[in-house]
Amino acid sequence: MNDLPDRLRELLLDTGYTIDGVRERLGTVAATALAREETVPALRATRDGDPLATLIRLWWLGVPIEAPGWLPVDGLAAAGLVTSAGGLVTSTVHLQPWETGGYVVSDRKVRPGDPALREDHVVGAGGASANLAQLVSRRPVGRALDLGTGCGVQVLHLAGRAGEVVATDVNPRALELAQLSWALSGIEGVDARRGSLFDPVEGERFDLVVSNPPFVISPRGRFTYRESGFEADGFCRDLVRLAPRFLSPGGTCQLLANWLHVDGEDWRDRVGGWLAGTGCDGWVVQRDVQDPAEYAELWLRDAAEQGTPRYRELYDDWLAWFESMDVTGIGFGWISLHDSGSLDPVVRVEELGQRVELPVGEYVDEVLASIGATHRLTGEELLGARLEVAEGVLEERSGPPGAEDPATIVLRQTRGLRRSARVGTVEAALAGVCDGDYPLDPLLAAIAELTGEDAGVLRARAPEVLRPLLAEGFFHISTS
Ligand SMILES: C[S@@+](CC[C@H](N)C(=O)[O-])C[C@H]1O[C@@H](n2cnc3c(N)ncnc32)[C@H](O)[C@@H]1O
């Protein structure tokens, strides 16, 4: 039984039950239909009864299969992965290959018409899991914590980058399935602990804390996999407020979160307020906003509750509860905290709607560093600094045909967060000459001479206009 994970992993790989194998076998039409919860095309694509089709039916589609001789059914049944009766094998879990090359074990996603979700449902790895994994810093770390590990997917991404990993969850069933995920992925030594929020790690410190928390904001905590039972967006707030106590010097905490938009309150103040007083530099990004109806529908659909007798009642309840709090929308986004050790920390709160270069984790440390360093740079230090325009920044000029000067100049990042900024002629000229060789001051003097502008005025204005461009990564300070 103990060598079952190794044997099963070997079987899965030999059969081609991998991300690419499943994708290729299903084809685009069936895969896209599955994303809409429609299984018929996938069932048609797996009619042949060969080993890969059989495993896709068993563990991806959740269809009972006739017991094939090559599947170690007794061992799998003993490990709680299948049940077997009358020659038919039925999966008790969803076992999916994951992009790291490992495997993730969870409960199966419910589809319309399925029995209601169990309260201790363990959610599978999906879009949100991938979003967090993409956001998390790639920097190698000593100790890492995955808070709310669920099926254990974040650990698959941390393994190899962290010397030691602690993973926690309130749901004991989540920890059981996570341990299966890690065993099937060949990951050893994860310290799995049960408990709420930071309770299981009281008094400890981590270089990296990651969490895809139970962020769903609902009137009642009905499902542990997505709702904490805390009031409104209080779980994410408390996670952010408590995190710094568990960070080692220089440590980072990164999480996904939802927050309320309340009539008469700027959401930036609400979420910015969670980070104020943490002593950490912070970066809050709102990626999307939904109105209350869209939000309630999304999560009722997620639990396959549309079309059930309670749907209208649950929907109405959810909306009435939002209305009682004057909620106008719900924001989705990322929160990153960095313990920079500075006595003058800064929190940047912003909306980013555009597609960004993935994975953000490749450059998130740089983003946090730019935000912090720019905030703490004095005007004199800035004027003495050697700036470099960031790689991939383009300049776009537009205006009426034949005009001598452009009406607008835009600097556009083709890399990273792909921001754009409308700038004046001086910043545009600086973008053309800043290659890290000369301090800003003499460059400004040269630009003043060329353009006929007053050098003193340019100098006085420079920190104000350049600070946002530095914080947003259009320029870097050269350290070479
Ligand atoms: C959205 S799932 C995330 C699972 C996984 N980490 C991922 O990235 O897909 C949230 C997890 O938080 C757990 N959870 C719920 N309440 C919690 C609490 N108070 N403290 C810690 N974890 C909690 C749930 O059991 C669930 O496994």
**What's the 299 CA to ligand 1 centre distance in angstroms?**
16
Using CA atoms, how far residue 480 sits from 387, 436, 437, in Å, is 11, 8, 9
Strands lying side by side in the sheet with 475-477:
435-439, 386-389, 475-477
Question: What's the pLDDT at 114?
Answer: 83
Token pair of 463 as six digits: 């920190």
Angle, vertex CA 151, rays to CA 149 and CA 154, nearest 5: 55
DSSP 8-state class, residue 361: G
Report yes or no: 297 and 275 within 8 Å, Cβ to Cβ.
Answer: no
Give the mutation target among 118, 121, 135, 171 for probing the ligand 1 site: most ligand atoms within 8 A of CB.
171
Residue with tokens 């769903």: 216
Element (H, E) at 15: helix 4-15
Report yes or no: 260 and 325 within 8 Å, Cβ to Cβ.
Answer: yes
**What's the 315 CA to ligand 1 centre distance in angstroms?**
23
Other CB atoms within 10 Å distance of the CB of residue 189: 9
Is any atom of ligand 1 closer than 6 Å to the C-beta of 181?
A: no
Is any atom of ligand 1 closer than 6 Å to the C-beta of 212?
A: yes
Sequence-ordered alpha helix ranges (H) in 112-163: 127-135, 153-158
Beta strand extents in 316-392 (DSSP E only) = 327-338, 347-351, 386-389
**What does each of the 480 residues of the chain score in pLDDT, given as a tens digit?**
478 899 999 999 999 999 999 999 999 999 999 988 899 999 999 999 999 999 999 999 999 999 999 999 999 999 889 999 999 999 999 999 999 999 999 999 888 788 888 889 999 999 999 999 999 999 999 999 999 999 999 999 999 999 999 999 999 999 999 999 999 999 999 999 999 999 999 999 999 999 999 999 999 888 999 999 899 999 999 999 999 999 999 999 999 999 999 999 999 999 999 999 999 999 999 999 999 999 999 999 999 998 899 999 999 999 999 999 999 999 999 999 999 999 999 999 999 999 999 999 999 999 999 999 999 999 999 999 999 999 999 999 999 998 888 899 999 999 999 999 999 999 999 999 999 999 999 999 999 999 899 999 999 999 999 999 999 999 999 988
Q: What is the pTM of this model?
A: 0.95
Token pair of 337 as six digits: 């905290």
Is any atom of ligand 1 closer than 6 Å to the C-beta of 149?
A: yes
Is any atom of ligand 1 closer than 6 Å to the C-beta of 171?
A: yes
Mapped onto helix, strand or coil, the DSSP state of residue 243 is: helix
How far apart are alpha carbons 154 and 391 in whole angstroms?
30
Give the mutation target among 132, 211, 228 for probing the ligand 1 site: most ligand atoms within 8 A of CB.
228
Is any atom of ligand 1 closer than 6 Å to the C-beta of 98?
A: no
DSSP 8-state class, residue 114: S
Cis ω before 214 (30° cut-off from 0): no
**What's the 152 CA to ligand 1 centre distance in angstroms?**
10
Report yes or no: 29 and 23 within 8 Å, Cβ to Cβ.
Answer: no
**What's the 231 CA to ligand 1 centre distance in angstroms?**
16
**What's the 479 CA to ligand 1 centre distance in angstroms?**
41
Write the burial class of residue 62 (CB in 10 Å: 0-12 exposed, 13-18 middle, 19+ buried): middle
Token pair of 336 as six digits: 């990153």
Token pair of 16 as six digits: 């081609």
Beta strand extents in 279-407 (DSSP E only) = 281-290, 327-338, 347-351, 386-389, 393-398
Nearest CA to ligand 1 atom 22: 148
Report yes or no: 322 and 361 within 8 Å, Cβ to Cβ.
Answer: no
Sequence-separated (6 or more) residues with CB below 8 Å from residue 472: 370, 417, 419, 421
**What's the 124 CA to ligand 1 centre distance in angstroms?**
11
